[in-house]
A and B are shown apart, each in its own frame.
Chain A
C-alpha cells in the first residue's frame, strides 16, 4: 500500500481532488466547444441588424412641357406609365423619373431615404415596427419636405407592392413618391 507522506501534501491533495479536476476539465471542454459567434454575439447591438430593404423612387407627372422639368430626365417604361396613369389623382400626360434610393430597414433604428441625394427637398425617414405577416412589414414612415415633416403613416408594406404618395408640385408637375419594400431579410435572432 502506497501512502503519501506529509512532505508531499500537494500530491496527496491532488489525489483527493480528482473529481473536482474532472469537473474543471469538463467545463473547459464545454467552453472550447461553444461557437465563437455566440461569444462574440454577447453585447452586440441587434438593433442595427437589417430586416429588409426599402426603396424610394421619385417621379414627376406633368401635363405641360417636359422640357421645363430639366434635361436628361429618364422616361418611364410603358407599364409604369400605365400604372401611374390609372391611379387616383396621378393621371398626367408625361412622366419622368427624378431619382431613387435604396436603404436597409434596421431592426430598431431609424433610417433615411434620400431619393434626390444630396438634395433635401424630399426625404423619407422610417423605422421598423415589426413584421406583421409573412411578406409584409409595418413601418413608421415619415415624409419630409426640407426640414418640415409633412406626413406620417404606419402603413404595412408588402414585398413587391409599393405605396404611392402624391407630393408637392414643382415646375408645373406633381411629384410622386413610390415607396417599395424590396425584400425582407430573415435574421437569426427574432425581435
Chain B
C-alpha cells in the first residue's frame, strides 16, 4: 500500500528543515518543504548560499582527504554548535512559546536549522583557508561566502585544547594577576597510583637529541613500583635540590 503524505503547508519541524538546508531531503518531503519555503525567500537564499559553499568546499578538498586531527575538528564543531546562544535559547523556550512568539516564527525556526550547518560549513571553510593560506584560491572567495562566515567566531578565538579521551574534559581560564597566565584545568584524568614513587629532579638535563615524531618508549616495569629515588650519576653545577 502506497504511503500517502499530506502536503506540508505548515512549517516543517527542525529536523526536516535541517535536512532541507543540507540538501538531503527527497521525494514528497522535499516538495512539501519547497512549497512552504516559497513564502520564505530568505530561507531559499540561505539554502542556496550553503549549497554554493558546500560545492566550493568539495571542489577544494577531496573526500578522501581528512583534516589533521579529525576528532579535534569534529569536537570543535560540536562544541561551537552547543555553545551557540540562539540554539540554547530555543531549547529552553519550550513548545509553549511557539504559539505566542515574541519574534517572527521564521526567525526562531531558521536560527537552529541554519546556524548548525552554517557553523560546520564555516569551520570547514576556515580549514580550507588555513591549508591554502597565501594561495590565490583564498582571494577567489566570493563576497557571499565571506559574508556567510562573517557571523561565525574566528577559529583563533575558539578553544585550542583537545582531549582525545572522551572522559577527560578541559577548561581554560586566565589568572587574575598581572601576567594573566593561561590555566588549563583537566578533569576526569586517571589518578596516578599512590605506590608509584615520583623521581624528583630539578636540575637542567643535557639537551636531548632531535628525534622524529615517535611514541614515548615505556620503561620495563616490575609490578606497580616504578623507581626508587637514587642519587643522580651525573655532575651538575646547579644547586642540590635537597637544599631548597
B161 proximity list for chain A (CB < 8 A): 151-153, 155
B201 / chain A contacts, CB cutoff of 8 Å: 99-101, 115-117
A155 touches B182 (CB 8 A): yes
Residue among B163, B164, B184, B226 with the most chain A CB within 10 A?
B184
Judge whether B184 and A166 touch: CB under 8 Å.
yes
- A168 B191 Cβ-Cβ under 8 A: yes
B186 is an interface residue with CB less than 8 A from chain A: yes
User: When the two chains form their complex, are residues A123 and B199 in contact, meaning their CB atoms are under 8 A apart?
Assistant: no
Complex Cα distance, B244 from A98, in Å, reads: 12
Residues of B within 8 A of A106 (CB): 210
**A11 close to chain B: CB less than 8 A:** no
Within 8 Å of chain B (Cβ to Cβ): is A135? no
For window 204-227 of B, CB contacts with A under 8 Å fall at 204-205, 207-208, 210-213, 215-216, 218-219, 226-227
State the majority secondary structure of interface residues on B.
loop
Distance (whole angstroms) from the CB of B226 to the closest CB of chain A: 6
Pairwise interchain contact B160-A155, C-beta atoms closer than 8 A: yes
Number of interface residues of A (CB under 8 A): 64
B185–A89 CB distance below 8 A: yes
When chains A and B are docked, how far (Å) is the Cα of A125 from the Cα of B182?
18
Which residues 103-134 of B have a CB within 8 angstroms of A?
A: none
What is the CA–CA distance of A77 and B200 in the complex, to the nearest angstrom? Answer: 18
A94 CB-CB contact with B under 8 Å: no
Q: Which of B185, B189, B210, B242 contacts A145 (CB 8 A)?
A: B189
Instruction: Give B135-163 as 1s and 0s: 1 = Cβ < 8 Å from A's Cβ atoms.
Output: 00000000000000000000000001111
| Measured CA separation A97–B239 after assembly (Å) | 14
Closest CB of chain B to A59's CB: distance in Å?
11
Q: Write the chain B residue with the least CB distance to A127.
A: B213
Specify the chain A residue showing the minimal Cβ separation from B192.
A170
| A 148-170 binary contact with B (CB < 8 Å = 1; else 0) | 11111111000011111111111
Other 8 A-B pairs with CB < 8 A, given A100-B202, A110-B212, A170-B194 = A70-B200, A74-B244, A87-B175, A97-B200, A97-B202, A110-B213, A150-B165, A154-B160
Interface of B toward A, CB cutoff 8 Å = 69, 72, 160-165, 168, 170, 173, 175-177, 179-186, 189-192, 194, 196-202, 204-205, 207-208, 210-213, 215-216, 218-219, 226-227, 241-242, 244
Contacts from A to B (Cβ < 8 Å): 47-48, 57, 70, 72-75, 83, 86-90, 97-104, 106, 109-112, 114-121, 123, 125, 127, 143-155, 160-171, 175
